[in-house]
Structures are given as structure tokens and as C-alpha cells.
Structure 1
Amino acid sequence: MITIRNAQDRGQANFGWLNSHHTFSFGSYYDSQHMGFSHLRVINDDTVTPGAGFETHGHKDMEILSLVLEGNIAHKDSTGNIKELPAGEYQLMSAGKGVYHSEFNASKKDMLKFLQIWIQPNQLGGQPSYQQQAFSQEQGFTIIITPDGKNGTLHIKQDMQLIQLILEDEQQATWQADNNRHYYVHVIEGELSLSNGITIGQGDGAKIENVSEINFERLSEQRVKALLFDLV
């Protein structure tokens, strides 16, 4: 079964310095039909004006992933990490028993666009941790996050995987799925046809359940980049 979440139906918050589209309920946007999916709780598609950002604030018991699409994030947290996150790199912060951090657009002239994704952990408390890594931009599937950090992936406190999908020269790809697990696709760029012929494009998402494989097909000459969440 595939359920589409169209980009234009997402919640929106515009504060001038921040324009954010919410796939799931977040902040002042509430929709009882869109509270998350399995342990995937937040996908915010954020655009931040030059020099602006999120002042120091706290998190607890949440796995927080950031992926910059354009620009750079200037990150600082209470565990001593002072980092810059450029476009294409993945950052995973485990809040654990509590952490404070700030995130700013590192540029004074260019816009910052990034995805902020929250995963509810299966282990509460513990020391906060920080991971940042660039991954291959090769075509096909690249595993980014796993529960044990195997094969150089980022490790997360949850029974899940995050997989990056890129189709540029290749037209199709198939992910072997498990009928007992839940899958969510978020399209970053391009246009895809899924297993049942449903088309999704930039900013769209799809909840996928009770399937043994997921077929992806690129529908135009434009490159496709998408995230596939493999969830319990």
C-alpha cells in the first residue's frame, strides 16, 4: 500500500528569516492525520536567509538529522562541537539526556536550504553524540544510517536505515523490502514513478507498507535524488 503526501499539502511557517514546510505536525502546525510515520517524527524543508538562524535551544531523547541542500550551516553545541556543514554532507546529532545547540546560515549573502529530520530513539538518556560525514554521490542506493554504524555509516539509536537514492544515467532501481516493515520516500529533486505507477516529485513523500519490493523509475532527463527510510 502506498499513501502519497503531496508537497503542496504540507504545513508551512514563514517568519521572514525562515520559510519552512512541514511534512508532519510541528510547532504551530498541527494535523492529527500527519503526526509522523513509525519512528519518523519530523521532516522540515527549511530555507534560511543570509546570516539568520536558530538561536541556542535544547533537545532531549531525539535523533536529529540535517542534510544541507544549498549553502552551509554553522553549528555549535554544548558538547563542544563547532562545525560547518556544507551542502551534500549528513549530520546526525543524538540528543541523549540533553544537548543545546544553535544553527545559523554561515553565509552573509547566500540562502541556506536544508532538511531537518527527527527520529524517535529506542534508547532514552545517555550521552549526546555528534556525527558528520560526506557519502558517495554514485548512482543507485547508498546506505547512510544504520543501527550499528556498519560499513562506515552513521549509527542511530533506532531499528532503521536511511538510504540515499540517486538516478542520473540509470532509469530504474529496485529496493528489496520486508512486508513487516514500513518505508517512507522523500523526493529532494527530480520526478519518480513508484511501484504502482504513482508519480511523486520534489518535496513529495510516500508512505509504503506491506510490500516485498519498491520499484523506482526516473521519469525525465533531470537527475533524481531521494531519501528512503526503512523503518520498523
Structure 2
Amino acid sequence: MKDNILHKADSRFVADHGWLKSAQTFSFHDHYDPQRIQFGALRVLNDDIVNGGKGFGKHPHDNMEIISIPLEGTLEHQDSMGNVAVIKPGEIQAMSAGTGIYHTEFNKDPAEPVTFLQIWLYPDKLNVTPRYDQLDYSKGDKHNKFLQILSPDPNDEGVWIQQQAWFHIAELDKGFETNFSLKQAGNGLYVFVMKGKIVVNGQSLDQRDGYGLWPDPDVKITADSDAEVLLMEVPEKW
């Protein structure tokens, strides 16, 4: 079994571009850390803040699964497939870049910043036809329960991507305890604490900490405070 890996919030590389502040768990663009390349199929986990009226201009992607989860504010998306959408907290967006796409992401609010998680996963099949998916999960039951918001199956709950991965999200009350069971044997689990404090298999985690486990099928999670948690189950190999 591979060793578990702890990424404290203050150990992330922070890229400050003025209009964009990006706390990066893994190596990204000009920043390279050979000890922090990826966790299985999870390649990018950026915690981005985009100032009002600013954003990412038209740029390309290919053969990558790209997921955006807004935490505060709204983000407008446009792409070469003809999709125009606004995503806000309580929603998740996924793109299979496949053979290639162009897209833009902008904060159209001139005054308020937008904070969102930018997540990239390697696909399990190359050169697929590009695809876009979006889901409002805000009315789903995530109180003291892990709500599935992403899967590899278009007929399952959540958006779907070209990878054997599952994402779950929960809002936990202080003192709540639960066991989480992985969907697929051999997968790893990356835990990201969006708010609050939790304990995962005895490891204490604070807000914006990340913890990667190559675990037994069940993972024990305890909330040390009211907390919001994102679980990303990904394969080690694909």
C-alpha cells in the first residue's frame, strides 16, 4: 500500500498575478515541485480567487477532465462547443477536453471576487469528443451525508467524466462521525477541507488542508467543528 500524503494549506504554492491569486496543491504551469506532481489521476487542485471584472481569456485544453466548483461568487464560462453558462456556489461544472477545446472563464461581477476550485484529472481514454456537463446540487441532501456530485457513469448521480472517479461533498455538524466507503477497489481518496476542521483516520485536518489516502475500503471521518468537505476518489493507474 502506498503512503498517505498530507498537504497543509500553508504548504501550497501561491501564485499572485494581481487579478488572480491561486493556491496550488500540485505543480502547475511555471511552478514545479517533483514531490507534488499528482495524486493518482488527480493532476491539478487550484484554490483560485479572481478579482471582479477579471478572468481567464480564451485558451486551449485537450485530453484532460476539467472540473470547476465555485465556493463564493459567480463564474461565467464560454467554450468552442457553443456553451455559455454561469456557475455559482452549489454547482459543479465538468468538461472532457478530449480532442481539443477553447474556453474562457470570467468574473462578470465588477465589485466582488469569485473563489472556485479548479480541478484537473487525467482521462482514462484519449481523444474523445469534447463534452460539457453542469449540475446544481444545492438542493441535494448533504447535511451529515456525502452527496455524490461526479461519477464515470452518465446514468449515475452528478456530472460525468471520462475517468473512473467519484466526487462527494458534505456539510458536517461538529461531532458528527461517519465511515465513507470507496466505490472501486484500489482507488485512492483525496480529502479537501473547504471549511472547518475534521479528522480522517486519525489525521487532523484544518480548513483548506488536503489529505491523500490509499486506504482500506472504509475511511472514518469525524467533524471537529462544523465543516464542509470534498472527497475525490481517483484511480492510482488508468
User: TM-score category by the smaller chain?
Assistant: over 0.9
Name the count of aligned residue pairs.
229
Q: Is the Cα contact below 8 Å between 1:137 and 1:166 reproduced in 2?
A: no
- C-alpha distance in structure 1 between counterparts of 2:157 and 2:165, whole Å: 16
Q: Is the Cα contact below 8 Å between 2:70 and 2:90 reproduced in 1?
A: yes
Q: What is the CA distance between 1:219 and its match in structure 2?
A: 0.6
Moved more, 138-147 or 161-170: 161-170
- C-alpha distance in structure 2 between counterparts of 1:169 and 1:9, whole Å: 26
Q: What is the CA distance between 1:179 and its match in structure 2?
A: 6.0
What is the aligned counterpart of 1:189 among 186, 189, 195? Answer: 195
Q: Is the Cα contact below 8 Å between 1:179 and 1:209 reproduced in 2?
A: no
Partner of 1:162: 167
Confirm whether residue 138 of structure 1 aligns to residue 126 of structure 2: no
What is the aligned counterpart of 2:228 among 206, 225, 229? Answer: 225
**Structure 1: gaps spanning 5 or more residues:** none
SS at match of 2:156: helix
What is the aligned counterpart of 1:92 among 91, 94, 97? Answer: 94
Q: What is the CA distance between 1:227 and its match in structure 2?
A: 1.1
Scaled by the length of structure 2, the TM-score of the pair is 0.92
Q: What is the CA distance between 1:224 and its match in structure 2?
A: 1.1
What is the aligned counterpart of 2:44 among 42, 45, 48? Answer: 42
| Superposed CA offset, 1:144-201 (max 9, x none) | 11111233321111111111122136611211246622111011111001112x2111
**Structure 2: gaps spanning 5 or more residues:** none
| Structural mapping, 1:9-158, within 5 Å | 9-135=11-137, 136-139=140-143, 140-158=145-163
* Amino-acid identity (%): 34
Could you tell me which amino acid in structure 1 is paired with residue 170 of structure 2? L
Moved over 4 A (4+): none
| Superposed CA offset, 1:92-111 (max 9, x none) | 01111000000011201111
SS at match of 1:8: helix
Q: What is the CA distance between 1:87 and its match in structure 2?
A: 1.5
Q: What is the CA distance between 1:137 and its match in structure 2?
A: 4.9
Scaled by the length of structure 1, the TM-score of the pair is 0.94
- C-alpha distance in structure 1 between counterparts of 2:120 and 2:55, whole Å: 18
- C-alpha distance in structure 1 between counterparts of 2:38 and 2:191, whole Å: 13
Q: Is the Cα contact below 8 Å between 1:181 and 1:209 reproduced in 2?
A: yes
Moved more, 120-129 or 160-169: 160-169
Q: Is the Cα contact below 8 Å between 1:12 and 1:29 reproduced in 2?
A: no
